[in-house]
Structure 1
Amino acid sequence: MPSVAGKAVCGVYEIHPERVEKARLALPEEGVLKEAARLLKALSDPTRMRLLLALKAAGELCVCDLALLAGVSVSAVSHQLRLLREARLVDFRREGKQVYYRLLDAHVAALLEEALAHAEENT
């Protein structure tokens, strides 16, 4: 296969209409695509991944516990948790003055497992 600047490119420009149509029909609505991209963007930070993996392992943790585990300030964790809440990856509950965070649902745990499995294949 020919390459340009080390990247594989087609040697012949040819459209495969059946494959293109199959792929087009499989694409979700634009809103779903944008939401999925936003979700993956929220996962793209190592600190946020650390927080999510800690929550996956422990079930639920408070901000102070998460700050200790992540090695960052409580303020930084609070900021990251806000982004994770907005991406619908975590939820929380209050117990008096204490706030405990947890993964939103099993989908998030499965997504984390798949991301780690894929990353481990490449290392």
Structure 2
Amino acid sequence: MTGAERAAPVNAHAVAQAQERVPSTEDISRLTGLLSLMTDPVRLRILYALDVSDELCVGDLAIALDLNEDQVTYALRLLRTAGLVHTRRQGRVVFNRLATDFPEPLREHCLRRLVELTRRVSESPDL
């Protein structure tokens, strides 16, 4: 028997609360697409670099991250399309920065604290 076939929930209040608060399938699909962008090491390193720098051009990002410019350009295009990175042109140079509305909790918890957590875990003698 599936959850949908169940005649009466064990905890009707909790079920109703979950139904009200859980994002729609469409919202979750968009969210997983956005989060999947951050699972790529190149894109995530670019986000980190832009978090600690005000803004960087493609060439400077490539040097800072020891990548080639094609890798950086492709990753930035995906990040811009997702709205995570914005650009500013100064003459012929295009500077990249985190979007002004880049979610601060995502910045704080994903870009900063999770790295600290992974360092602690990898340094743990229990591993």
TM over 0.5: yes
Structure 2 match to 1:117: 113
Counterparts of residues 31-70 of structure 1 (less than 5 Å): 31-70=26-65
Unaligned runs of 5+ in 1: 1-13
What's the CA shift for 1:93? 1.2
Distance 2:71 2:37 in 1: 15
Aligned length: 110
What's the CA shift for 1:119? 4.6
Unaligned runs of 5+ in 2: 1-8, 122-127
Distance 2:90 2:57 in 1: 10
Matched, 1:93 2:91: no
1:17 corresponds to which letter in structure 2? A
Distance 2:76 2:104 in 1: 16
Deviations 1:7-61 (A, max 9, x none): xxxxxxx843322221111022333222211211111112111111111111100
Identity of aligned residues (%): 34
TM-score by length of 1: 0.77
Structure 2 match to 1:22: 17
Structure 1 match to 2:71: 76
CA RMSD of superposed structures (Å): 2.0
